């Protein structure tokens, strides 16, 4: 399995000859090394409805004739944006994509679409994370989240190979809470994300990884454009 980090909270997983992208935010991301039109995928997964997670979802889905997988309310919104194939699901559910399975797990955050022109906010369902199962491996995209104790339950029920964990603070948990989250998820590898895209969420990811290692956990800093090879146990 190969995983590309496209910056912010966007990761692309290549497995079984196909790929999926989670939370594509490229055209508005000053750190991104790839353009939305360069993304070739078989599915687009969305953790929640904030612009820095869904900005390029509809264009990528339409260009690739790929389904958008998300909570039901966000799936309905995506269909209104012209996405022909949406898979609306809900918390605790699992979707079989054929080349991988995706299970929706909780995240504690908010989720809404701000429409500036009319000063409206559209309710977009609950925020989430995704467990991706493929090739006997388990990858967790934790979504945008604060610290919550059921992270420990998720880690106990699902042996996680790689977790992508937000550390930016302000909008999500910061490094201190993320260190405890990493211990509870107890993944073979922890990768910090959702940091340093903008000044408000700037963090020292290298320092975070050093703190992980002091706690007996493996960590890796990935820069936008980096690739990770994940092998079986």
- Is pLDDT at 148 greater than 90 in this prediction? yes
Q: Cβ neighbours of residue 144 under 8 Å, at least 6 residues apart? A: 9, 47, 48, 50, 53, 107, 109, 127, 166, 171, 172, 194
How do 189-193 and 162-166 pair as beta strands? parallel
pLDDT of residue 227: 98
Residue 226 placed within a domain = no
State the Cα–Cα distance between residues 230 and 233, nearest whole angstrom.
Answer: 9
pLDDT of residue 3: 98
State the Cα–Cα distance between residues 178 and 190, nearest whole angstrom.
Answer: 10
Percent of the chain exceeding pLDDT 70 equals 100
State the Cα–Cα distance between residues 170 and 165, nearest whole angstrom.
Answer: 14
What mean pLDDT, rounded, does the chain reach? 98
Residue 228 placed within a domain = no
Q: 27-70: per-residue pLDDT in tens?
A: 999 999 999 999 999 999 999 999 999 999 999 999 999 999 99
Q: 94-130: per-residue pLDDT in tens?
A: 999 999 999 999 999 999 999 999 999 999 999 999 9
CATH number at 90 reads 3.60.15.10
Residue 193 placed within a domain = yes
pTM given for the model: 0.98
78-85 average pLDDT score: 98
Residue 38 placed within a domain = yes
Q: Which domain holds residue 29?
A: 2-221
Residue 178 placed within a domain = yes
- Is pLDDT at 155 greater than 80 in this prediction? yes
Number of domains in the chain: 1
Residue 233 placed within a domain = no
pLDDT of residue 183: 98
Residue 135 placed within a domain = yes
Summarize the chain as % helix, strand, coil (round to 5).
25, 30, 45
Q: 125-145: per-residue pLDDT in tens?
A: 999 999 999 999 999 999 999
Q: Which residue has the tokens 């493929």?
A: 134
DSSP state of 219: B
Residue 112 placed within a domain = yes
136-162 average pLDDT score: 98
């Amino acid at each position: 399995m190969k995983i590309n980090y496209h910056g912010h909270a966007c990761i692309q997983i290549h497995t079984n000859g196909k790929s999926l992208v989670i939370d594509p935010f490229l055209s508005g991301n000053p750190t991104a090394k790839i353009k939305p039109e360069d993304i070739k995928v078989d599915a687009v997964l969305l953790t929640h409805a904030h612009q820095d997670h869904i900005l390029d979802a509809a264009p990528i889905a339409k260009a690739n004739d790929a389904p958008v997988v998300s909570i039901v309310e966000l799936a309905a919104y995506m269909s209104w944006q012209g996405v022909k194939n949406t898979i609306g699901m809900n918390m605790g559910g699992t979707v079989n994509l054929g080349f991988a399975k995706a299970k929706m797990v909780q995240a504690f955050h908010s989720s809404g679409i701000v429409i500036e022109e009319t000063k409206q906010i559209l309710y977009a369902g609950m925020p989430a994370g995704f467990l991706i199962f493929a090739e006997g491996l388990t990858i967790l995209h934790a979504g945008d989240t604060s610290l919550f104790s059921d992270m420990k339950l998720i880690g106990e029920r699902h042996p996680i190979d790689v977790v992508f964990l937000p550390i930016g603070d302000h909008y999500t948990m910061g490094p201190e809470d993320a260190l405890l989250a990493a211990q509870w998820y107890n993944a073979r590898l922890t990768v910090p994300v959702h940091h340093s895209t903008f000044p408000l969420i700037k963090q020292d990811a290298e320092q975070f990884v050093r703190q992980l290692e002091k706690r007996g956990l493996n960590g890796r800093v990935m820069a936008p454009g980096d690739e990770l090879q994940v092998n079986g146990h």
